[in-house]
Amino acid sequence: MLVFKFGGASVKDADNIVNLANVVKRFEGNQLVIVVSAMGKTTNALERLTKAYVDGDEQMHAIFDEIKKYHYDIIEQLFDKQDNIFNEVANTFVEIDWVIEDEPHDDYDFIYDQIVSIGELVSTRIVSAYLNKAGVKSQWVDVRGYVHTDNNYREGGVQWAKTRESISTGIPPLLNKGVVVTQGFLGGTSENFTTTLGREGSDYTASIFASCLGAESVTTWKDVPGVLNADPKLFNDTIKFDELSYSEAIEMTYYGATVIHPKTIKPLQNANIPLLVKPFGDPGAPGTVIKENGRNIFTKPVIIVKQNQVLVSLSAKDYSFISENHLSDIFGMFAQSHAKVNMMQTSALSFSVCIDYSENRFKKLLTALRQDFNVKYNEGLTLITVRHYSAEWLNDLKAGKTILMEQLSRNTIQMLVK
């Protein structure tokens, strides 16, 4: 049995959904679980909707209307006016109406998950209905009854034993009746609330299903030829890797390579299931294979660019040295506010750390840190990580940049730039 994952770009318009059905048809005769993301940039739009709702911003209705129009335009191209999909989509969007007609709950992350999850619930309705229309027997499955998480909203922690039990007993009987279409990125709590697994988490969903079902492989269908050494939107002359080992792929995602979600590899590595990254526009192409003994051949360095970083520098209010006790307090505060640390450096009187910026979490963190420390920070920075670097490449990369913090190890260099 195979697991496929289609990301937002591969379902961003009617033509791409037709293409998805053609890709799936090539694999007729296989048992197939298809994990789908929200269409195009819908998750970003739903994030804006959530923020507008919580801020009491009247833009909220305009944002919501635009999201609905985008989806209706697509289904109008794919289905007859009488098709039941119009009701299914309307009934899915109504769940947002129910949330936003009340006063905002005070847990932002909780509200976020209840609203943002609609992107996947609606995209899968459309994909499943279209597959049936195109002659591929398909069943829509609500992932929230299979991927069980704790109630850590926006970063749901998967409860593996329960999830494994639900998937391994519930899904195989369905696979005999047709392909299973389900939502990436979502989970459900024991109280039946919706959680999300972290941005770009649909890859992780695919790997959870593969692991619980003992799949032959997972394929993530992308708008790039495979895993490249750098983002082709930022760099010219990128190269594709034919193979990578699990550990190289884990390193790359750890430093922020967005081609695969960081949590994806571990469950696959543990069950020795290969991950194929392939272009949805050319389904016969080999793409990249990530597997146990994947050969790592670097004719060019791997360059990973992470935007939206903030550099925080702390010093003790009483001029004392930054001690291990301070560090343990500081890390406690970072963990509590879910701040993701990407690089750090200590000196006698200060501790500097580069983290992902997220408005609400950063505000919480600053309030906590300011009780004991003097805090300075710089926002809007970019973290560049280069693996398997050469001196020549580094010089090119550094040219004309202001570097605020830099760290070098045998394989990896990281620099935080303005």
Which residues of the shown chain bind Mg ion in the complex (CB under 5 A)? Answer: 8, 37
Q: Which is nearer to ligand ASP, 38 or 78 (CB)?
A: 38
What is d(CA 167, CA 156) in angstroms, rounded to the nearest whole number?
17
Positions in 178-207 near ligand ASP (CB under 6 A): 184-185, 199-202
3-state SS, 87-133, equals HHHHHHHHHHHHHHCCCCCCCHHHHHHHHHCHHHHHHHHHHHHHHHH
Q: By beta-carbon distance, which residue lies closest to ligand ASP?
A: 202
Give the full edge-to-edge strand order of the sheet including 243-245.
138-141, 179-183, 32-36, 2-6, 217-222, 275-279, 288-291, 243-245
Q: Which is nearer to ligand ASP, 153 or 373 (CB)?
A: 153
What is d(CA 266, CA 48) in angstroms, rounded to the nearest whole number?
32
- Residue 111 CB, shortest distance to ligand ASP, in Å, is 17
Q: Which is nearer to ligand ASP, 122 or 250 (CB)?
A: 122
Q: Which is nearer to ligand ASP, 9 or 344 (CB)?
A: 9
Q: Which is nearer to Mg ion, 208 or 322 (CB)?
A: 208
Q: Which is nearer to Mg ion, 8 or 301 (CB)?
A: 8
Q: What is the dihedral of CA 144, 148, 152, 153, to 10 degrees?
A: -10
301 binds, among ligand ASP, Mg ion, none (CB under 5 to 8 A by kind): none
184 binds, among Mg ion, ligand ASP, none (CB under 5 to 8 A by kind): ligand ASP
Going by C-alpha positions, the residue among 221, 217, 227 that lies closest to residue 291 is 217
What is d(CA 354, CA 60) in angstroms, rounded to the nearest whole number?
33
| Alpha-carbon 356 to chain mean position | 14
Backbone angles phi, psi at 417, to 5 degrees: -125, 160
Of 37-45, 49-57, 127-135, 388-396, the segment contacting ligand ASP by CB under 6 A is 37-45
Inter-residue contact 204 to 264 (CB < 8 Å): yes
Tokens of 278: 């392939």
Q: Which is nearer to Mg ion, 63 or 416 (CB)?
A: 63
6 binds ligand ASP (CB under 6 A): no
Positions in 8-27 near ligand ASP (CB under 6 A): 8
185 binds, among ligand ASP, Mg ion, none (CB under 5 to 8 A by kind): ligand ASP
334 binds, among ligand ASP, Mg ion, none (CB under 5 to 8 A by kind): none
Q: Is 235 exposed, middle or buried (0-12, 13-18, 19+ CB in 10 A)?
A: middle
- Residue 202 CB, shortest distance to Mg ion, in Å, is 7
**Of residues 37, 50, 194, 414, which one binds ligand ASP by CB under 6 A?**
37
What is d(CA 148, CA 266) in angstroms, rounded to the nearest whole number?
18
What is d(CA 136, CA 77) in angstroms, rounded to the nearest whole number?
19
**Half-sphere exposure of residue 207, counting CA atoms within 13 Å on the CB side?**
26
- Residue 359 CB, shortest distance to Mg ion, in Å, is 20
201 binds, among Mg ion, ligand ASP, none (CB under 5 to 8 A by kind): ligand ASP
Q: Which is nearer to ligand ASP, 42 or 315 (CB)?
A: 42
43 binds ligand ASP (CB under 6 A): yes
121 binds, among ligand ASP, Mg ion, none (CB under 5 to 8 A by kind): none
Q: Which is nearer to ligand ASP, 93 or 331 (CB)?
A: 93
What is d(CA 50, CA 70) in angstroms, rounded to the nearest whole number?
18
What's 212's DSSP letter?
A: H
**Judged by CB under 6 A, how many residues of this single chain contact ligand ASP?**
12
Going by C-alpha positions, the residue among 229, 227, 244, 228 that lies closest to residue 387 is 229
Positions in 111-140 near ligand ASP (CB under 6 A): 119
Of 36-44, 360-368, 381-389, 408-416, the segment contacting ligand ASP by CB under 6 A is 36-44
7 binds ligand ASP (CB under 6 A): yes
- Residue 199 CB, shortest distance to ligand ASP, in Å, is 4
Binding site for ligand ASP (CB under 6 A): 7-8, 37-38, 43, 119, 184-185, 199-202
